[in-house]
């Protein structure tokens, strides 16, 4: 599958990389190989040596065989290739400037060479960015800067750049197998053991929440005897994630660290010079930053609460891959292809293009439909059956929101010089969940059953999963009174009121902090969460207004 092709004269390839100490290099008279990440089935030395010997015909099969999270740049006489892993855990963006191909893993790398101006912005992309916080498909915020999609690579010669696909996560290769539960339980064991082997006794730090995924990792490490583990929780006082994480940590015998958040702390950090450097590091022109963990990581680092060589292991994205984002109301009747594409597009749009209510209109939905149709054509068309279209919605989220915004959270750890692992994005997990059917994924049925049946650490049946706990405590009577008043007006109006007037105080990460309560509640644009305000700030720093237009 080919995503993008550009005929252009290239005289030189220039790599402008962040944190160059994170890159491993192999240089000879005929080639340069640059690698960043971790892998399970090669040593880094072997990988670099094998990569240096590749020709155009065997790049795809070699990349597909690599098990891990990485990006790879190989420059040889006659051709070059640049690859990201199957989930795009480490981004690569690129542009051609004065017959020079510039490759970078962050936006600053390119903007240091190419003096970007407002006229370079792709204002079609920026308007969609204003509602979602990330770009679509191979596009970035700028017209002439592209990014490499998950499971894809560039082939480069003196006259052409082609982005090709070596792996595609297509979660509609469904299979019926009454042994899937046992298969999943064994696979869960396998990915935890791979994690243990990869970390080699170093301290593992788990941002522990009140849900399934980080608990799965913490309990798995305990079950298989890995003792150098610390859990950490963060947020406003009394938030549900920290209360549940404390109970889980105590049961597993883990050291637990809690970092308290307040609006003032986040505001002070947000307007600091260090935060601006952090924003620049996280920016690859494809997504806003993943804001919630900055205060936590800064506290851990500043106060020496964890080892300097600790490895951060979060639970991304067990909920998504196991079915928690799966649409439940797509029509399953016989439909035309166009109607199916419209249904898929609308389902995706209503869930992810929502951060400013006043920007949502029919023109927006038509624009997203065009993008979705293009992506489906790249795939070679829809699944044969309309009742499998739920999987296409998952695929579109995977290529866009997950690989750009959610996985951008790994940049947080790199900024503070910590290594990371993503066990729930393991290659074998990708393959397994691509074959799970609707009944197995709806409500995460198979995933939940496997975790509860295994009952690692005895933290599944006796400690709640994501219970409803309202914080801060003072807001509980206020919220109850307001909810009682809104009974005659229905749930929809109640939720709109709660979002506008109470979320400012209830948001665990305090991400409304940079803006005053008065500013938030008097705003008439219809924000969905603090993310809308963070998007506005991001676009403002690029010279645009909140709509993704020139101010």
Please check whether residue 513 is in contact with residue 266, taking contact to mean a CB–CB distance below 8 angstroms.
Answer: yes
Residue 283 falls within a domain, yes or no? yes
Distance (Å, whole) CA 160 – CA 524: 48
Residues 383, 389, 390, CA angle at the centre, nearest 5°? 140
Query: Is residue 356 included in any domain, yes or no?
Result: no
Same domain, 16 and 145: yes
| pLDDT tens digit sequence for 391-437 | 999 999 999 999 999 999 999 999 999 999 999 999 999 999 999 98
Identify whether 551 is part of a domain. no
Specify whether 108 is located in the same domain as 219. Answer: no
Query: Would you give the distance in Å from CA 245 to the centre of its chain?
Result: 22
Q: What is the rounded CA–CA span in Å between residue 164 and residue 1?
A: 6
CATH number at 16 reads 3.60.20.10
pLDDT confidence of residue 3 = 65
Strands 229-235 and 204-207: parallel
Q: Are residues 148 and 197 in the same domain?
A: no
Residue 277, in any domain of the structure: yes
Residue ranges making up the domain that contains 517: 475-541
Q: Give the mean pLDDT of the chain.
A: 93
* Of 261, 338, 194, residue with least CA distance to 505: 261
Same domain, 67 and 187: no
| 494 lies in the same domain as 526 | yes
Whether residues 113 and 250 share a domain: the answer is: no
Degrees to nearest 5, angle at CA 129 with 127 and 130: 65
CB 256 within 8 A of CB 246: yes
Do 95 and 236 fall within a single domain?
A: no
Q: What is the rounded distance in angstroms from the CA atom of residue 373 to the CA atom of residue 136?
A: 12
Instruction: Return the number of other C-beta atoms located less than 10 Å from residue 316's C-beta.
Output: 24
Residues 450 and 482 in one domain: no
**Count of CB atoms situated within 10 Å of the CB of 43:** 9
User: Which of 356, 333, 306, 327 has its CA nearest to residue 529?
Assistant: 356
Contact 28, 10 (CB under 8 A): no
Residue 385 lies in a domain: no
Residues 151 and 213 in one domain: no
> Is 470 among the domain residues?
no
- 452 and 308 together in one domain: yes
Q: What is the CATH number of the domain that holds 445?
A: 3.40.50.620
Please state, in angstroms and rounded to a whole number, the distance separating the CA atoms of residues 95 and 103.
7
What parts of the chain have a pLDDT lower than 70? 1-4
pLDDT at 494: 92
CA distance 324 to 135: 22
One domain, residues 300 and 413: yes
The pLDDT of residue 404: 96
**Within a domain: 334:** no
Best CA proximity match to 128, nearest among 404, 394, 317: 404
Within-domain flag for 360: no
Q: Are residues 297 and 268 in the same domain?
A: yes
Global confidence as pTM: 0.94
What is the number of structural domains in the chain?
Answer: 3
CA distance 321 to 334: 27
């Amino acid at each position: 599958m080919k995503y993008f092709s550009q005929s252009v004269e290239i005289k030189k390839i220039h790599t402008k990389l962040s944190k160059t100490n994170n890159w491993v290099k192999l240089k000879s008279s005929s080639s340069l190989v640059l690698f960043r990440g971790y892998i399970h089935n090669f040593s880094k030395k072997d990988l670099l040596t094998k990569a240096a010997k590749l020709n155009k015909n065997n790049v795809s099969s070699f990349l597909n065989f690599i098990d891990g999270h990485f990006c790879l740049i190989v420059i040889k006489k006659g051709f070059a290739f640049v690859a990201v892993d199957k989930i795009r855990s480490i981004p690569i963006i690129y542009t051609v400037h004065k017959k020079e191909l510039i490759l970078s893993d962050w936006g600053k790398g390119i903007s240091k060479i190419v003096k970007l101006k407002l006229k370079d912005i792709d204002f079609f992309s920026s308007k969609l960015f204003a509602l979602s916080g990330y770009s679509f498909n191979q596009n970035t915020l700028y017209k002439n800067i592209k990014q490499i999609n998950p499971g894809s690579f560039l082939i480069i010669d003196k006259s052409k750049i082609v982005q090709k696909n070596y792996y595609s996560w297509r979660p509609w290769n469904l299979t019926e197998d009454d042994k899937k539960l046992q298969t999943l339980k064994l696979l869960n064991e396998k990915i935890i053991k791979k994690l243990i082997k990869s970390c080699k006794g170093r301290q593992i730090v788990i941002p522990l929440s009140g849900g399934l995924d980080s608990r799965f990792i913490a309990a798995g490490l305990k079950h298989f005897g890995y003792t150098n583990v610390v859990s950490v929780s963060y947020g406003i006082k009394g938030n549900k994630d920290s209360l549940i994480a404390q109970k889980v940590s105590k049961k597993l015998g883990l050291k637990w660290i809690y970092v308290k958040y307040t609006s003032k702390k986040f505001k002070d950090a947000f307007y600091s010079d260090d935060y601006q450097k952090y924003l620049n590091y996280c920016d690859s022109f494809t997504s806003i930053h993943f804001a919630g963990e900055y205060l936590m990581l800064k506290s851990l680092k500043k106060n020496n609460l964890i080892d300097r060589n600790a490895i951060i292991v979060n639970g991304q994205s067990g909920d998504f891959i196991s079915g928690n984002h799966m649409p439940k109301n797509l029509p399953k009747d016989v439909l035309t292809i166009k109607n199916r594409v419209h249904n898929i597009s609308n389902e995706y749009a209503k869930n992810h293009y929502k951060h400013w209510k006043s920007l949502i209109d029919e023109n927006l939905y038509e624009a997203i439909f065009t993008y979705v149709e293009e992506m489906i054509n790249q795939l070679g068309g829809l699944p044969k059956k309309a009742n499998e279209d739920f999987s296409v919605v998952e695929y579109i989220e995977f290529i866009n929101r997950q690989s750009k915004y959610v996985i951008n959270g790994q940049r947080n750890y790199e900024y503070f010089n910590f290594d990371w692992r993503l066990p729930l994005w393991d290659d074998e997990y990708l393959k397994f969940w691509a074959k799970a059917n609707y009944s197995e994924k709806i409500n995460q049925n198979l995933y939940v059953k496997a975790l509860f049946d295994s009952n690692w650490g005895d933290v599944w049946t006796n400690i709640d999963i994501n219970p409803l706990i309202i914080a801060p405590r003072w807001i509980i009577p206020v919220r109850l009174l307001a909810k009682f008043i809104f009974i005659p007006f229905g749930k929809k109006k109640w939720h709109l009121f709660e979002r506008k007037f109470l979320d400012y105080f209830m948001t665990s990460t305090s991400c409304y902090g940079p803006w005053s309560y008065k500013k938030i509640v008097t705003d008439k644009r219809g924000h969905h969460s603090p993310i809308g305000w963070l998007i506005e700030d991001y676009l403002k720093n690029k010279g645009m207004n909140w709509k993704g237009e020139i101010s």
